[in-house]
Structure 1
Amino acid sequence: MSDEAKALARLNIRCPLSEWRSTHNLRLMNLTQDITPPEFVSVILTEVGMIPTTSIPVVLREYQDQI
C-alpha cells in the first residue's frame, strides 16, 4: 500500500463524516451566498488582501464579466 493510500485510510478512519451518505436525515447543502447581516461584516478577505465593505460594489462592477 502506498503512503498516499495509507494516509487516506487513516483520514477515513478518523473522519466522522466519511460515510455521510449512509447517515439517515443528513443532506448535503451547498450555499452559494452568505446571509450574514451587513452590520456584522467589517472587511472582506480575498487572495489580494482585505477589501473594505464599502468597496465591494466597485469590485463587483469591475469584475462583473468574470463572475
Structure 2
Amino acid sequence: MSSAYDLGTNLVRRIYEKRIDAPAILDAGTHFPNATKFAAAWRSIREEALSVQLNRVPRFHDIMPE
C-alpha cells in the first residue's frame, strides 16, 4: 500500500510543480512592502495578542460553517 501511496503522491506533486511558476519564498519588497514595519513591531503585536482575553475569542469550530 505504501508504494501505491508514494506513486500517487509523486504524480500529484509533479502535476502541481509544473503549474507553480513562483519561487518558494516571495520577494517581500514586491509582495509585502510593509514587511520591515511588521518585523520591527513584532514585540507590540505580540503584547497585543497576549493581552486579548482568550475566553472571549471564539473557537475555530464556532465560527466556521460546516
TM-score (ref. length: structure 2): 0.30
Q: Between Structure 1 and Structure 2, which shows a larger proportion of helix residues? A: 2
TM-score (ref. length: structure 1): 0.30
